[in-house]
Amino acid sequence: MLKDELVQKGAIKYGSFTLTSGKQSNFYVDIKECMTDPDTLKETAELLSANVHSDIVAGVELGAVPLLVAVSMLVHKPYIIIRKEREHGTKSLLIGKTPPGGTVDIIEDVVTTGGSVLRAAKLLSDTGLKTASVICVVDREEGATEALSENNISLISLIRISEIKKP
C-alpha cells in the first residue's frame, strides 16, 4: 500500500521546515525523493491516473513533473508544465499546448493551503482552460480542500497526512 511505502521510505521528515506556502512546520512530506524510485513512481502514477477525467493534465515544477509525465503516459493525454518563474528560455510560464475550452486536472505531490495550485489554475484559466480537479499524493489537511472548493475545484488526495504522520 502506497502510504506504508512512503512511511517506510522516509517521506515524512521531522524537524524545522519552511513550506512553499511560507508556513513553518515541524514535519516535511518529501514525495520528490520517493519518486526517484521507478517502482514507487509507477505505483503512484497508476493511482493518480485512475482519477484523471479531463482533456489535459498539468503540474507545477518541480515536485509534480515526474508524476505528471508518468500520468500523461498512462492516460494518453497531453500535459502542461507550469513554471514558477519566467527566467529561462521563452520566458513562458506554461510549457505545452493550451487549447482554449479544454479541461485540466492538476497533478501535485503535496498540497497544504492550496495556494500554489490556485495560482496554477489561474494561469491555466487565463489561456481558456478550466481546472476541474487537483489530484495529489498527500494532502497536509491545512486548508487546501476548502480553498479549492471555494474556486469550484475538487481536491482528490491519495493520502491524507492524518493517515501517516506520527501524532
Could you give the 3-state DSSP secondary structure of residue 94?
strand
pLDDT in tens, 13-41: 989 999 877 889 999 999 999 999 999 99
Given a cut of 70, whether residue 62 has pLDDT beyond it is yes
Query: Which CA distances in Å does 101 have to 50, 117, 126, 165?
Result: 23, 19, 11, 40
- Number of C-alpha atoms within 13 angstroms, CB side, residue 140? 25
Given a cut of 80, whether residue 152 has pLDDT beyond it is yes
String of DSSP letters for 48-86:
HHTT--SSEEEEETTTTHHHHHHHHHHHT--EEEE-S--
The pLDDT value recorded for residue 23 is 82
Sign of CA dihedral 62, 107, 77, 122: negative
CATH code that applies to domain 2-163: 3.40.50.2020
Residues 6+ away with beta carbon under 8 Å from 85: 93
Asked if residue 83 lies in contact with residue 65, where contact means CB atoms within 8 angstroms, the answer is no
Domain extent listing, the chain:
2-163
Q: pTM for the complete prediction? A: 0.94
pLDDT in tens, 65-117: 999 999 999 999 999 999 987 766 667 889 998 888 999 999 999 999 999 99
Given a cut of 70, whether residue 157 has pLDDT beyond it is yes
The pLDDT value recorded for residue 85 is 78
